Homo-oligomer: A and B are copies of this chain.
Amino acid sequence: MKQIEVIPSAKYVDRSIIEGSTSVVIDVLRATTVMVTAFENGIKEIVPVLTPAEADEVKEKTGEGVLLGGERNAEIIPGFDLDNSPFSYMDDVVKGKILVLTTTNGTLAIRKASEADRVLIASFLNAEAVVELLKNEKRITLICSGTNGDYTLEDGLCAGYLIDMLKSREDVELSDFAHLVHSFYFFSKDDISGAVSVAKHYRSLKKKGYEKDLEYCFRMNESEIVPYYSNGVIRKQA
């Protein structure tokens, strides 16, 4: 029997919930989708940091081969190499490089998740591969990164999709909140884009002209890569 808990946003991650569990961090729009995309395109490792200043420090210490990426208010940070669009991580520019990434919600959730036994990075792109790696885990905490401390529907839909796959494979014990997000996924699964069209962060990105990103971030199972976070660095499973 697997126990599954879901955390509504990065703000609500605390040690007492995640300690002893495998945590799965989800930030569909767009940090974890960017991470999976970057590994698909040959990035060597990703260092998630909390602030642009911390990003500069890491770059200074690491030296050559470092790219600075991320966003504030969904836009590129002044002086940075790359923004937070997955399409910026698709060409040869990322190959073999170290990415230092700071985003408003996803990188914060990952850093806060470090008290867990194991931290995996999930998005719709690699959902099935993540579920495959959770086979032997007894206690799973799905962390919806959210936006500015609030729950967002798109992260909950991805959590619901993961739960749906886990449930179909073995017996699970869901918390009430896990039931809730799973039910929402279940009732929405034939029209994910309709379900997410009311979501605040989704609407805000759409208004800013990121339609192409929004379409890409909901593609399912196009990647077999499951990045994991350990000792301050995100790498892909060997």
Residue from the list B12, B150, B174, B183 in contact with A184, Cβ < 8 A:
B183
Q: CA separation between A174 and B179, bound complex, in Å?
A: 21
* Main SS at interface, chain A: helix
Interface pair B198/A177, CB less than 8 Å apart = no
Contacts of A181 in B (CB 8 A): 180
- A199 to B, closest residue via Cβ: B176
Copies in the complex: 2
Lowest 3 CB-CB distances: which A-B pairs, in order?
A: A151-B177, A153-B176, A187-B187
Query: Please, which residue of chain B has its CB at the minimum distance from the CB of A196?
Result: B176
Q: Give every chain B residue within 8 A of A156 (Cβ-Cβ).
A: 176, 180
> Which residues 141-190 of A sit at the B interface, judged by CB distance below 8 A?
150-153, 156, 174-177, 179-181, 183-184, 187-188
Q: Is the CB of A198 within 8 A of B175?
A: no
A12 to B8, CA, bound (A): 11
Q: Which of B150, B175, B187, B188 touches A176 (beta carbons < 8 Å)?
A: B150
Judge if A200 is at the interface, Cβ distance under 8 Å: yes
- A153 contacts which chain B residues (CB < 8 A)? 176, 179-180
Add 7 more A-B contacts to A12-B12, A175-B200, A180-B180 (CB < 8 A): A8-B8, A8-B177, A150-B175, A153-B179, A176-B198, A179-B198, A180-B184
Could you tell me the distance between the alpha carbons of A181 and B12 in the complex, rounded to whole angstroms?
A: 18
Distance of A150 Cα from B153 Cα, bound (Å): 19
Using Cβ atoms and an 8 Å threshold, which residues of chain B touch A177? 8, 150-151
Could you list some 5 contacts between A and B, CB below 8 A? A150-B175, A151-B176, A179-B199, A180-B180, A184-B184
Question: How far, in whole Å, are A10 and B228 apart by their CA atoms in the complex?
Answer: 33
Beta-carbon contact of B183 and A187 below 8 Å = yes
Taking CB atoms, residues of chain B closer than 8 Å to A151 are 8, 175-177, 180
Q: How far is the CA of A176 from the CA of B201 in the complex (A)?
A: 9
Per-residue CB contact flags for chain A residues 7-34 toward chain B (1 = under 8 Å, else 0) read 0100010000000000000000000000
